[in-house]
């Protein structure tokens, strides 16, 4: 009995001659822990692992035939083109390894798609309720059927996203709807009153329309000013920081349900720049009109026109920190900043010819590295990195 065994990363194969002339070879191929029977019969005289396969016939067991059914043409092609039996078996192992990997992925996917009777009931009810509101309003559904996103149009055709979280025992327990709206007067952005998905979305639309004027004010800021904060569009943001002029910005806190009313205003910049603006604000504050947009009121009261984000670039106004050269702190630095402190530069040099802004944490680190910096009552006193004017920062 003559045989040989070859090993390779994809497995190994063992072939045994069934006759002394090596005209018939029988054995198996082992791949991923599975064995598949193979038999090769040569035509003419002689056979063996080094002989050409021209005219030879390949026989496979049922397991191998079924596995490579989708790759039949490839197996046939390799069998006819391989210079000898050993080369063919090496290629066959690669084909089987690939086929087994695909089979495992398919089986895993099928297992993931199996749904228990209780989940089938939830899926049926979910499909019924979604069909009532329209599939076009559903943006996505989580594979676990526990979360879905729906879109709503408000009275001005703006698109809003509502996130619905379904508890495991839904619909016995009500879902939670989360809206991207500002929090105001104790109102939560969540809807937990229950009902069908259609009823929940109708309540959400009514809630969203309450902020119609707020959306108008926000869109006006985005269109007509250079907005520094928030850096990403969010319909829940009520605080806005916009550019006034070089080294100077203004922070506004809008009341969501009364966005045209006089709001909290804070100037950010050196006193030499913000001082005259504060004088105008105090002198003309009586001119504030709730019939005008907040931006229009501010331009009237401050007797200026805000730079536009479309015409100007925020970088042209040198709003980035003069030490780290970034507007927002990096993520690791943000953890060290107090919750109440802005992540944008909020310390400035009071020299009117300089006025460079700095992050508080950056300025503290800079001043502590300077030998002649003095500390008094939790305040560091030192020199501006740019103009050498006196600058201070509270380290609390």
Question: Is pLDDT above 80 for 318?
Answer: no
Task: Say what the pTM is.
Answer: 0.56
For residue 1, the model assigns a pLDDT of 44
Give the residue among 184, 223, 239 at the shortest CA–CA distance from 207: 184
Question: Is pLDDT above 50 for 311?
Answer: yes
Alpha carbon separation from 37 to 92, 161, 191, 208, 271 (Å, rounded): 12, 58, 63, 68, 88
* 89-98, 269-278, 314-323: least confidently modelled range: 314-323
Residues 6 or more apart whose CB falls under 8 angstroms from that of 93 comprise 8, 10, 11, 12, 13, 29, 31
Question: Is pLDDT above 60 for 168?
Answer: yes
Question: Is pLDDT above 80 for 353?
Answer: no
Please give the residue that has the higher pLDDT: either 52 or 8: 52
For residue 50, the model assigns a pLDDT of 67
Question: Is pLDDT above 60 for 335?
Answer: no
Q: Decide: residue 64, CB within 10 A, 0-12 exposed, 13-18 middle, 19+ buried.
A: buried
Q: Which of 87-91, 196-200, 259-263, 341-345 has the highest mean pLDDT?
A: 259-263
6 and 86 Cβ atoms separated by less than 8 Å = yes
pLDDT (average), residues 77-102:
87
For residue 338, the model assigns a pLDDT of 39
> Helix, strand or coil for residue 182?
coil
Give the residue among 255, 250, 264, 262 at the shortest CA–CA distance from 290: 262
For residue 333, the model assigns a pLDDT of 44
Strand partners, 240: 252
For residue 5, the model assigns a pLDDT of 47
Residue-by-residue DSSP string for 335-374: TTS-TTS-SS--EE---TTT--EE-HHHHHHHHHTSTT-E
pLDDT (average), residues 264-283:
87
DSSP single-letter state for residue 314: G
344 and 328 Cβ atoms separated by less than 8 Å = yes
Question: Is pLDDT above 80 for 104?
Answer: yes
Mean pLDDT, the chain, whole residue set:
82
For residue 336, the model assigns a pLDDT of 43
306 and 242 Cβ atoms separated by less than 8 Å = yes
For residue 283, the model assigns a pLDDT of 95
- C-alpha 82/C-alpha 79 separation (Å) is 6
pLDDT (average), residues 308-333:
63
240-243: list long-range contacts, CB under 8 Å, 24+ apart.
241/268, 241/342, 241/344, 242/306, 243/306, 243/307, 243/312, 243/314, 243/317, 243/319
Please give the residue that has the higher pLDDT: either 323 or 364: 364
For 130-164, what is each residue's pLDDT tens digit? 999 898 899 998 888 889 999 999 888 899 999 99
237 and 250 Cβ atoms separated by less than 8 Å = no
Please give the residue that has the higher pLDDT: either 351 or 364: 364
What percentage of residues in the chain have a pLDDT greater than 90?
19
What percentage of residues in the chain have a pLDDT greater than 70?
85
Give the residue among 189, 174, 317, 182 at the shortest CA–CA distance from 248: 317
- C-alpha 392/C-alpha 267 separation (Å) is 18
For 356-396, what is each residue's pLDDT tens digit? 888 888 899 889 888 888 888 888 999 888 888 888 888 87
């Amino acid at each position: 009995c003559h045989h040989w065994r070859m090993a390779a990363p994809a497995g190994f194969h063992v072939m045994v001659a069934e006759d002394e002339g090596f005209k018939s070879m029988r054995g198996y191929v082992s791949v991923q822990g599975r064995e598949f029977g193979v038999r090769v019969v040569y035509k003419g005289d002689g056979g063996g692992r080094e002989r050409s396969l021209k005219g030879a016939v390949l026989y496979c067991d049922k397991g191998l035939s079924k596995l490579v059914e989708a790759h039949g043409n490839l197996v046939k092609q390799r069998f006819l083109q391989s210079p000898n039996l050993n080369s063919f078996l090496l290629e066959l192992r690669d084909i089987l390894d690939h086929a087994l990997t695909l089979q495992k992925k398919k089986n895993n996917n099928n297992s993931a798609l199996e749904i228990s009777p209780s989940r089938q009931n939830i899926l049926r009810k979910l499909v019924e309720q979604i069909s009532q509101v329209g599939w076009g309003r559903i943006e996505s559904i989580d594979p676990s059927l526990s979360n879905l996103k729906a879109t709503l149009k408000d009275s001005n055709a703006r698109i809003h996203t509502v996130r619905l979280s379904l508890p495991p025992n839904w619909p016995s327990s009500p879902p939670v709807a989360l809206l991207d709206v500002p929090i105001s007067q104790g109102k939560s952005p969540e809807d937990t009153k229950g009902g069908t998905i259609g009823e929940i979305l109708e309540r959400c639309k009514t809630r969203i329309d309450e902020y119609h004027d707020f959306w108008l004010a926000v869109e006006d800021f985005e269109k007509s000013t250079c907005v520094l904060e928030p850096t990403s569009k969010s319909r829940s943001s009520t605080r806005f920081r916009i550019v006034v002029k070089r080294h100077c910005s203004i922070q506004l806190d809008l009341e969501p349900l009364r966005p045209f009313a006089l709001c909290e205003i804070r100037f950010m910049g050196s006193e030499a720049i913000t001082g005259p603006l504060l004088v105008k604000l105090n002198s003309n504050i009586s001119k504030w009109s709730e019939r005008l947009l907040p931006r229009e009121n501010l331009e009237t009261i401050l007797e200026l026109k805000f730079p536009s984000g479309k015409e100007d670039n925020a970088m042209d106004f040198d709003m980035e920190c003069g030490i780290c050269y970034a507007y927002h702190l990096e993520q690791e630095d943000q953890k060290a900043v107090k919750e109440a402190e802005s992540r944008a530069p909020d310390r400035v040099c009071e020299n009117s010819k300089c006025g460079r802004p700095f992050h508080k944490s950056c300025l503290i680190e800079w001043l502590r590295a300077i030998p002649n910096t003095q500390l008094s009552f939790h305040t560091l006193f030192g020199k501006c990195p740019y103009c050498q004017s006196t600058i201070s920062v509270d380290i609390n």
